[in-house]
Amino acid sequence: MLKRIMSENGRDHIRGYAFAIFCLIIVALSTAFIAWIMEAVINEAFANRRADLIWLICGSILFTFILRGFAGYGQAVTLSKIGNSIVASYQRRLFSHLMTLSLGYFTEARSAQLSAQINQNITGIRDVLNLTVTSLARDTLTLVALIGVMIYQDALLTLIVFVCAPPLLLALRHLSRRLRSATRESVIYNAHVMGAMQETVQGIAIVKAFTMESELESKVQGTINLAEHRSNRIARLSERTAPITEIFAGVAISSVIAYAAYQSIYGDMLPGAFFSFITALLLAYEPARRLARLQVNLERAVVNARMIYEILDMQSHQRDKPDAKPLKVSEARIEFRDVAFSYGDNEQTLKGLSFVAEGGKTTALVGPSGAGKSTVITLVPRFYDPAAGSILIDGQDIADVTKQSLRQHIAYVSQQPYLFEGTIRDNIRYGRPDASDAEIEEAARLAYAHDFILAQPQGYDTPVGENGVTLSGGQRQRLSIARALVRNAPILLLDEATSALDTESEAAVQKALDEAMTGRTVVVIAHRLSTIIGADKIIVMQDGMVVEEGTHESLAQHPGGLYARLNNLQGNASAGETVED
């Protein structure tokens, strides 16, 4: 994992890392210099009372600290800038990759948990690099330089100090292995917590309407308790390095002081060398402690990084074929040939479905709930791929063309309208980014949205809030229809596009849609006969198959047929009441 992270990011930031390492080397050498010069401070300034050397000694110490301060500032700012750049780079990369994954992935993954997991883990890659650079360039060099000072002052004493090092390293290695699994579990549980909170906030109206507060609170509390338990376990494992290193440091430092005091008292030796040795030993403690914790901290960062790469390494199940060509549309004739489809391991939703939606005409899909109507709509733009059979547009199998060219020829209105952050104008323009303001306003007029848009505080420049929370359901649906109309695509897919509109608004929108449908191939699912009656062809579906086909008049006159039964259940078709759907 470390090798992969280095190969992907090292080259892009090699100059920044080189400068940071140079600064860290200065920090390391200056720290060692402070320990080394203590011998001169004690011996020359205090023991030998060399007044002529005091200014030189004090000046060199002052210069060292100034140099060390600027070097520390330079490396900290540089590593922060590199880290922020890496985080931003992986955020862009993750977003681009998520856009390539199939709709099936997002259907199975909970969006709130996915978002929380990404937010928690994406900094792991930055931490891996920063920990590696600072540990190698600063802590390791500092420790090596200080050990050099210690060896220079007393080699035997240095050897005695580090006799206890191997047991310390073995203990830390054991802790890092135990920490790895605990960190992964903690990330998952925390993602569950953040996801549950996000979903509760988004569905707060339903929560309060059904008095679900206590049930959800109990459920979330259980998840929070699990996350807390894992976090506490991580804390226990991580902080066990503290008593281990402190005991080691205490034994080493107290032994050195005792030995130095003995030599100075009974050996009649100048104390400068021992003070220099002790200073080096005390200064070496902090980088040694950080290096001792390095594997523990690195394990946590690598676990986070690995979970990000699990997403980045996920392959799309709907990649374009190597020889895929752009779709060429003339009549925009859609044909289903023996199409079979199922969601995962569930029972087949479509079973050998075959029908034709003629180019430039409107084909309506109707049938009871679960008949597979919405599935048909999702297969045309290749949100999913059929398990068997083929779907053709103007004789071209959509599996053999690029998804981008296919979807550029399709405008889609779902039964659950979704608006993005931004203004009303921005949301309509998503249908075609190069659309002019005049085209956007014309699409809004056709969708019976222009008047209510002008009634908003800032007209077309009014922010819509999170998922259009400031607008009614009917208004959101009309903006969704306007977004589809401004696309000006030859194929229009309407999945119960008027379901959220009142009778008056639906009549106006339907009239506008009738004009917008002219010359386009329209596949529409509707639960009101006001949409179905005017269709050129009606496909009646049941259990994933076509059971009837014809116009409203011909199908309604077949007693005992499914459509006639649904039509009779509606009662008065002219009143626009609901058909079972």
- Given this model, what pLDDT does residue 113 score? 62
- Taking each helix axis from N to C end, the angle separating 141-153 and 272-312, rounded to the nearest 10 degrees, works out to 160
32: pLDDT strictly greater than 80:
yes
Confidence of residue 165 (pLDDT cuts 50, 70, 90): low
Please tell me which residue, 81 or 135, carries the higher pLDDT value. Answer: 81
Average pLDDT, integer, range 216-234: 81
Report the share of the chain in percent with pLDDT over 70.
85
* pLDDT of res. 530: 59
Cα–Cα distance, 253 to 157 (Å, whole number): 11
* pLDDT of the residue at 206: 73
Average pLDDT, whole number, for the chain? 81
Does pLDDT of 211 surpass 80?
no
Question: What is the per-residue DSSP string for 356-387?
Answer: EE-TTSEEEEE-STTSSHHHHHHHTTTSS--S
74 vs 205, residue with greater confidence: 74
- Does residue 228 have a pLDDT over 90? no
Neighbours of 99 (CB within 10 A): 8
Query: pLDDT > 90: what percent of the chain?
Result: 17
- How much is the pLDDT for 13? 86
φ/ψ of 61, rounded to 5, equals: -65, -45
Sequence spans of domains, the chain: 2-312, 325-407+521-581
Answer for the pair 432, 425: CB distance below 8 angstroms, yes or no. Answer: no
Task: Please state the rounded mean pLDDT for residues 420-434.
Answer: 89
pLDDT at residue 572, as a whole number: 42
Decide which of 507 and 545 is more confident: 545
pLDDT tens-place string over residues 533-554: 778 899 999 889 999 999 888 8
- Summarize the confidence of residues 492-517 as an average pLDDT: 71
- Rounded to an integer, what distance in angstroms lies between the CA atom of residue 471 and that of residue 456? 10
pLDDT digits (tens, 9 = 90+) for 330-382: 899 999 999 999 887 778 889 989 999 999 899 999 888 888 898 999 899 99
pLDDT tier, 110 (very low <50, low <70, confident <90, very high otherwise): low
pLDDT, residue 392, reads 95
Q: Is the pLDDT of residue 580 over 50?
A: no
- Region 68-94: what's the mean pLDDT? 88
pLDDT at position 216: 80
Dihedral sign, CA of 559, 560, 561, 565? positive
Amino acid residing at 317: H
pLDDT (0 to 100) of residue 576:
41
The tokens 């937010």 sit on which residue? 119
Question: Between 515 and 259, whose confidence is greater?
Answer: 259
Q: Judge whether residue 76 has pLDDT over 90.
A: no
Buried b / exposed e over 226-258, threshold 16 CB at 10 Å, is bbeebbebbeebbebbeebbeebbeebeeebee
The CATH code that applies to domain 2-312 is 1.20.1560.10
Which overall architecture, per CATH, does domain 325-407+521-581 show?
A: 3-Layer(aba) Sandwich (3.40)
The sheet with strand 521-525 has its strands ordered as 410-413, 491-495, 521-525, 362-366, 537-542, 545-550
Range with the poorest average pLDDT among 250-254, 406-410, 421-425: 250-254
Q: Give just the sign of the alpha carbon dihedral 145, 150, 156, 158.
A: negative
For range 266-284, the mean pLDDT: 75
Q: 363 or 579, which is more confident?
A: 363
Reply yes or no on whether the pLDDT at 574 is more than 50.
Answer: no
The pLDDT tens digits of the residues spanning 450-499 come to 989 999 989 999 988 766 777 877 788 888 888 988 988 999 998 877 76
13: phi then psi, degrees, rounded to nearest 5: -125, 25
Q: Is the pLDDT of residue 573 over 50?
A: no
